[in-house]
Chains A and B, each alone.
Chain A
Amino acid sequence: MIDNLGFALEGAWKVLAFGLLLGAGLPMVYAVGIRALAWGAGGEAEVDHGRPHPAGRLVAVVCFAVVLAAVALGITIIVASGFGKEVSFEHVVPTLVDKR
C-alpha cells in the first residue's frame, strides 16, 4: 500500500511536469502565434481592416511550426515504442533507434 503510494506519487509528478511543459506550454506558444498573427490588425470596431504586420506573420509561422514539430515528435515516440523502437536525443536531432 505504502509502496504503491510512493510509486504513484513518483509517476504523478513526472506526468504533471510533462503536462505543464507540453500540455500547457504548447497551447501557450500557439496562443502567442495567434496574437502575433493579429499584430497590427485592429479589433472588431475597426472599419478598414488594416493588414497585420508582416513580422507578426513570421513569428506566427515559427510558433505554429514549433507546436506542429512537438506534436509530430510526440506521435513518433508513441508509435515507435509500439514497434520496439525508441527516439534517441543523443545526437540532438531525434533519431529512431532500437529499444534497449
Chain B
Amino acid sequence: MIVLALVVVTALGFDFTNGFHDTGNAMATSIATGALKPRVAVALSAVLNLVGAFLSVEVALTVTNAVVTIQDSSGAPREDLLVDGGAALLLIVLAGLIGGIAWNLLTWLLGLPSSSSHALFGGLIGAAIAGLGMSGVNWNGDGTKLDGVVGKVILPALMSPVIAAVVAGVGTWLIYKITTGVAQRYAETGFRWGQIGTASLVSLAHGTNDAQKTMGVITLALIATGQWTDLENIPLWVKVACAVAIAAGTWLGGWRIIRTLGKGLVEIDSPQGMAAEASSATVILASSHLGFALSTTHVATGSILGTGLGRPGAEVRWGIAGRMVLAWLITLPAAAVVGGVMWWVGHLLGSTVGPIAIFVILVALAGYMWLRAQRAPVHADNVNNDWDEGQVPAPAAAGGVAA
C-alpha cells in the first residue's frame, strides 16, 4: 500500500515535470515574439493542457506495451509479476518513473528541450532490463504493425523533427512570399493572432497526448495491486489528478527551456512563430490520429528549426541545435541507466524499504537540482533577454518566481 502510494505520487511528479518541460513547445515562440506576455502564455497553455487531458478519453492503459513487456495486449499486468501484491511490477514502474524524472530535471537545469516521453520510456526500459532481463523489453514488436522500441520510439524520433522542419520551412517561405511589403500594422496584428491560435492548438494537443501516458501508468499500478479491475476505463480521480498535475507543471513554466527554444535556436518573428506552431499542431494531431507515436518536443524543435531555414536571411544557431540533438540521443539510454540503477538499489533493500529508499533518493536529487537552478534563475522577467547574455541571463532587477 505504501509502495502503491509512492508510485502514484511519483507518477504525478513525472506528469508535473512533463508539464513544465514542454511548456516551451507550445509557447516559446509566442513569448519570444511578444505576442503574449510570458505569464499569460503559460497560464493559457496550462488551461488548454487541462482541457486537453480530459478531451481524449481513449484508453491509454497499454501505454507501457510500446517498450516493455509488463502487461499483455489487453492491458492486464503479467501474472508472474503479481505475486506478493504486485511488488515486482510496482518496483519496475517506480524505478522507471524515477529515471524519467531525474533526466527531465537535469535537462531542464541545462535548458535543453528533451523528450519527456523518451525519458519515461527510457526509465521503464532500464528498470525492465534490470528486473526482467533483455526479454523484458519489446525491442521490435511482432512485425505486424509499428511497435516496440524501434518502431514507437527510435524511428519516429528520427523522422518527426525532419517532417516538422520541412512543413514549417515551406509554411514560412510561403508566408513571407505572400506578405512581403504588406503594411506592418496589418501583418503584425494578424500574425500575432495567428500565433496565439496555433500555439493554443499545440497546448491542447499536448494535453491530449501526454497526460494519457501517466494515467495509463497509474491505472496499471492500481490494477497490479488489485485496487482497480476495469481494463476499459481509467478511474476518474486518476484522470483529474493527472490533468491537474500536467496543468500545474505547465503553469509553473519551464523558463529555461522556453528561453532556449524561443531565443536560442532561431531569432523568431511573428509570421515564423505562426508557421512553426501551425506545423507542430498539424504534425502532432495528424500523427496521433494515424497512430504514429511521436514526441511533442521533437516536433516543436524541428518546426522552430524549419522556420529559421524557410525565412531568407534568418540565422539558425547550429551549435545549439547540435546540443539538442545530442541530448535527444542520450535521453533514452541515460534515463534507462537511472531506471536500472534505481531498480537494483530498490531490489537490494527489500520490498518495503527499497521503494522508500529510491523515492528518498529522487527527492534528494530533485531538491539538489532545484537549488542549483536557483543560483542562476531564469524566469518570466528575463526569459526574453538577448541571447548574447547567455543561456542564463543576468538577473533582472525585479525578482520573479524562478522555474
A28 pairs with B163, CB closer than 8 A: no
A89 interfacial contact with B, CB 8 Å? no
Q: Give min CB distance, A75 to chain B, whole Å.
A: 7
Q: Tell me whether A41 and B186 are in contact in the complex, defined as CB-CB below 8 angstroms, given that A7-B151, A12-B159, A23-B281 are known contacts.
A: yes
Q: Is the interface of B mostly helix, strand, loop or mixed?
A: helix
Number of interface residues of B (CB under 8 A): 61
B140 interfacial contact with A, CB 8 Å? yes
Q: Tell me whether A19 and B183 are in contact in the complex, defined as CB-CB below 8 angstroms, given that A30-B274, A82-B56 are known contacts.
A: no
B166 interfacial contact with A, CB 8 Å? yes
Q: Which residues of B contact A38 (CB under 8 A)?
A: 182-183, 186-187
Q: Give min CB distance, B232 to chain A, whole Å.
A: 11
Number of interface residues of A (CB under 8 A): 42
B86 interfacial contact with A, CB 8 Å? no
State which of B160, B175, B185 has its C-beta within 8 Å of the C-beta of A31: B175
Q: Beta-carbon contacts of B274-302 to A below 8 Å, as 1s and 0s?
A: 11001101110111111110000000000
Q: Tell me whether A19 and B167 are in contact in the complex, defined as CB-CB below 8 angstroms, given that A35-B179, A81-B58 are known contacts.
A: yes
B191 interfacial contact with A, CB 8 Å? yes
User: Considering only CB atoms, which chain B residue lies closest to A11 in the complex?
Assistant: B292
B174 interfacial contact with A, CB 8 Å? yes
Q: Which residues of A contact B204 (CB under 8 A)?
A: 75
Q: Which residues of B contact A30 (CB under 8 A)?
A: 175, 190, 194, 274
Q: Give min CB distance, A74 to chain B, whole Å.
A: 6
Which residues in window 50-94 of B have CB below 8 A to A? Answer: 55-58
Surface stretch bound by A, among B142-150, B251-259, B350-358: B142-150
Q: Which residues of B contact A35 (CB under 8 A)?
A: 178-179, 182
Which residues in window 12-32 of A have CB below 8 A to B? Answer: 12, 14-16, 18-20, 22-24, 26-28, 30-32
Q: Tell me whether A4 and B151 are in contact in the complex, defined as CB-CB below 8 angstroms, given that A15-B163, A43-B181, A43-B183 are known contacts.
A: yes
Interface centre among B164, B168, B178, B187 (most CB of A within 10 A): B178
B151 pairs with A8, CB closer than 8 A: yes
